[in-house]
């Protein structure tokens, strides 16, 4: 982690979250978009950008949970800003703020409300060969988790990308496609070199 400070202090469209991402990935601030400039859809824009970096993210609620983050995990904690009635993001590790991108270094007011964890697509070795991975980790559709080894660029029969079938706000639960009525991801087989509608339009999807 390499601390990066925010430069936009707008309460609604500031870049504290982007500065946290830049800090964790050790990138210059200008290399990370200001996701807050897309209210209501900012996390989708964040995921789209992350996919270009060969990464994905999961946002977990910090309220009324029985789980605990391992001390070595570095993530982004979201909580109430000490400067007003809006959210603020800080870099978090071991149960505490290790970097506040705001120059005040005041952190957040109270306990975090959520945590955003970043992962590379290849989160570990897989014993399965290419093409043998299953789209759902536990095989039970209502509670299934996203399989990072499956491949985000694989296309469903509904012509939408694999990761679009999971809820990024609820521990990557399988909730069906966000852009149509498709309930379960079923890969459509295409001839090599045949473009899909989604692959050409992925950067344009809302």
Give residue-wise pLDDT tens across range 45-93.
Answer: 999 999 988 888 999 888 877 677 888 889 999 999 999 999 999 999 9
Q: Is residue 47 part of a domain?
A: yes
Write the DSSP assignment of 120-144 as a string of letters: ES--S--SSPTT---SBSSS-GGG-
Q: Is residue 205 part of a domain?
A: no
Digit-coded pLDDT (tens) for 25-56: 999 999 999 999 988 889 999 999 999 888 88
Q: Is residue 6 part of a domain?
A: no
> In this structure, how many other beta carbons lie within 10 angstroms of the beta carbon of residue 22?
23
Q: Is residue 198 part of a domain?
A: no
Would you state the pLDDT for residue 2?
Answer: 95
> In this structure, how many other beta carbons lie within 10 angstroms of the beta carbon of residue 166?
25
Half-sphere exposure (Cβ direction) of 124: Cα atoms closer than 13 Å: 2
Q: How do 166-167 and 173-174 pair as beta strands?
A: antiparallel
Last residue within a domain, chosen from 120, 151, 179: 120
Assess contact for 167 and 173: CB atoms under 8 A: yes
Residues 112 and 91 in one domain: yes
- Cα–Cα distance, 100 to 22 (Å, whole number): 12
* Structural domain boundaries enclosing 144: 123-189
Digit-coded pLDDT (tens) for 98-143: 999 999 999 999 999 999 999 887 555 555 554 566 777 654 444 4
Q: Is residue 1 part of a domain?
A: no
Last residue within a domain, chosen from 120, 151, 167: 120
Query: For residue 145, which phi and psi values (nearest 5 degrees)?
Result: -110, 155
Would you state the pLDDT for residue 137?
Answer: 64
Residues 36 and 106 in one domain: yes
Residues 159 and 75 in one domain: no
Residues 94 and 30 in one domain: yes
The residue length of the chain stands at 206
How many domains does the chain divide into?
2
139: left (phi over 0), alpha (psi -120 to 50) or beta: left
Assess contact for 176 and 183: CB atoms under 8 A: yes
Q: Is residue 159 part of a domain?
A: yes
List, in order, residues 6 or more apart from 87 with CB less than 8 Å away. 78, 79, 80, 81, 113
Q: How do 109-120 and 166-167 pair as beta strands?
A: unpaired
């Amino acid at each position: 982690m390499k601390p990066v400070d925010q430069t936009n202090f707008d309460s609604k469209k500031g870049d504290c979250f982007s500065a946290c991402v830049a800090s964790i990935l050790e990138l210059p601030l200008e290399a990370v978009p200001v996701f807050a400039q897309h209210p209501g859809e900012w996390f989708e824009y964040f995921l789209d950008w992350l996919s270009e970096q060969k990464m994905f993210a999961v946002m977990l609620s910090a309220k009324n949970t029985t789980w605990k983050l391992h001390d070595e995990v570095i993530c982004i904690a979201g909580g109430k800003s000490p400067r007003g009635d809006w959210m603020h993001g800080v870099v978090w590790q071991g149960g505490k703020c290790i970097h506040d991108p705001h120059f005040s270094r005041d952190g957040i007011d109270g306990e975090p409300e959520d945590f955003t964890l970043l992962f590379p697509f290849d989160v570990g070795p897989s014993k399965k060969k290419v093409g043998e991975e299953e789209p759902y980790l536990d095989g039970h559709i209502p509670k299934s988790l996203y399989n990072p080894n499956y491949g985000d660029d694989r296309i469903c029969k509904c012509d939408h990308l694999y990761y679009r079938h999971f809820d990024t706000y609820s521990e990557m639960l399988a909730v069906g496609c966000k852009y149509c009525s498709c309930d379960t991801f079923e890969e459509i087989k295409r001839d090599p070199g045949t473009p899909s509608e989604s692959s050409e339009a992925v950067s344009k999807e809302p």
